[in-house]
Each structure stands twice: as structure tokens, then as C-alpha cells.
Amino acid sequence: MSPALDYEGELGFVVGRRCRHVPRERAHEVIAGYLVVNDVSVRDWQLRVPTWTMGKSFDTHGPIGPWLTTADEAGDPHGLRLRTWVNGELRQDSNTKQLIFDCFALVEHLSTAFTLEPGDVVATGTPGGVGIALKPPRLLQVGDVVRIEIEGLGALENPVVAEPDTATL
């Protein structure tokens, strides 16, 4: 396991219908619902390559859930309290209105370059409080438990497990 494993509590949304070139003011029409995302990041892998893909693509990374809250049930996705705990210690406490990119801007931006398909999951980015940014850094270890809660969307809780050390062919 990497010594630079980190959590990122994020709001996620699921695309509900195929779309391309969606203007921001109509983006809400293509979102089926919202969920909690833990965008687990391996910081050493993330920083050694020009894109961050490898650092966010390990087998056990990117848990989502605990269910999909439909867009009509969620209400305004840009005003929800987002909190992350590690082993019961509050590490992130923010609001989705503080995120750099809102859901509707992301739909507009992404659909400019490619077609969004039903079932596509988009993570919106994390607020402050990730382990690598704390002084001193406080990264994850095997046995830690990460809990991410977003107001109205539920809570996602996952233990950190060791990466298998055997090859699968």
C-alpha cells in the first residue's frame, strides 16, 4: 500500500439521459440524481505522471453511494453540508456551494467535448481538509475508517484495506 493514500469527500451526480452541448441553464434536466463519493487518491502516483488518472484508479478506489437520491428529492445540490470523518475525527466540514465547479457548470463543460451517457458518474471535487494538505499531513492507513456524509444524500463509510500483493493473471 502507498504511504500517500488520501480521502476526498465529494458530491457526485449521475447522468440520466444521453446529451451533448448542454447549456448550463438546462443542465439540471439531464441529471438523474446525486450521491456521495470518496475520490480516494494515491498522492505519490497522482503526482508522478502528467495526468492524475493513475492516482485515482486503483481497484478499491472511488466508492459511491450509499444510494442514488433523485434530483427532485435532493433539491438544490449547491447548498448541502458535506462532512468527512477519519476514525471519528472530523476532517472536512464544508458546503457544496463552496466547490469550485458546480454540477450544472460541469455538465455544460464536459458535454462540450463529449457525449454524456445515462449512468455516467461525475465527481465534483473536494473541499479543504484532505489529509495531504493538513499540517502535518495525515494520510490513511490500513484499518482506518472513512465516513463521508452529505446532507440529504446519506453517509458512505468504508474501511481502508490492504492492497492484495498477489498477481492475478
Q: CATH topology for 5-159?
A: Fumarylacetoacetate hydrolase; domain 2 (3.90.850)
Instruction: Please state the rounded mean pLDDT for residues 112-132.
Output: 95
9-28: per-residue pLDDT in tens?
Answer: 999 999 999 999 999 999 99
- Type of residue at 41: S
Q: Where are the domains of the chain?
A: 5-159
> Which residues, 6+ apart, have CB-to-CB distance to 99 below 8 Å?
11, 78, 124, 125, 127
Residue 56 pLDDT > 80, yes or no?
Answer: no
Grid cell 493538513 is found at: 134
- The pLDDT score that the predictor gives to residue 48 is 72
- The pLDDT score that the predictor gives to residue 1 is 66
